């Protein structure tokens, strides 16, 4: 189980996502939270779930951000399972603003039961998307039953 300030992560936190969190890493101007809808995938079936990534600007200054998700070989962002890395550019977040992006993750008839780890990377950009000032990585476990 993941530790939080007040103790262990609750059952409902895993289903509905987590509430307000501290910045993922010191020096980052934003907070990141994730949620899965539905909570798990079915093994050996063509189905999908949504990975919701919420990014909240914790400062008064606008920040430019993007979210990149990497998933394992057994899963995919499309029905064929070809795409394994996907990036969404969020644009500028105003001070104290929050934005949520959604990634559709698909399983196929070849996906075996188990727990798969995906990596969510939130990038803090300056000037344009070619320049990264800082980033944070967060692991998300996807259950397949």
pLDDT at 5: 41
CA–CA separation, 62 vs 133, rounded Å? 14
Please say whether the beta carbons of 104 and 142 come within 8 A. Answer: no
Nearest to 32 by CA among 117, 140, 110: 140
- Domain coordinates of the chain in residue numbers? 15-144
Identify the pLDDT of residue 1.
Answer: 36
Give the sign of the dihedral formed by CA 111, CA 105, CA 53, CA 70. positive
19 Cβ contact partners less than 8 Å away, ≥ 6 residues apart: 13, 33
Please state which CATH number belongs to domain 15-144.
Answer: 2.60.40.10
**pLDDT tens digit string along 78-126?**
989 999 999 999 999 999 999 999 999 999 999 999 999 999 999 999 9
Tell me: pLDDT of 136 over 90.
Answer: yes
Is the pTM of the predicted complex or chain greater than 0.85?
A: no
């Amino acid at each position: 189980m993941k530790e939080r300030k007040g103790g262990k992560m609750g059952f409902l936190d895993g289903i509905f996502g987590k509430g307000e969190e501290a910045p993922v890493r010191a020096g980052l101007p934003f907070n990141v939270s994730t949620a899965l809808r539905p909570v798990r995938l079915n093994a050996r079936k063509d189905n999908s779930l949504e990975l919701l990534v919420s990014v909240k600007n914790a400062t008064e200054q606008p920040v430019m951000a993007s979210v990149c998700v990497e998933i394992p070989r057994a899963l995919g962002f499309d029905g064929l399972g070809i795409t394994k890395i996907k990036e969404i550019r969020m644009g500028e977040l105003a001070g104290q603003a929050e934005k949520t992006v959604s990634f559709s993750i698909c399983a196929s008839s070849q996906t075996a039961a188990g727990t798969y780890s995906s990596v969510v990377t939130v990038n803090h950009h300056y000037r344009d998307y070619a320049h990264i000032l800082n980033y944070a990585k967060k692991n998300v476990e996807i259950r397949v039953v």
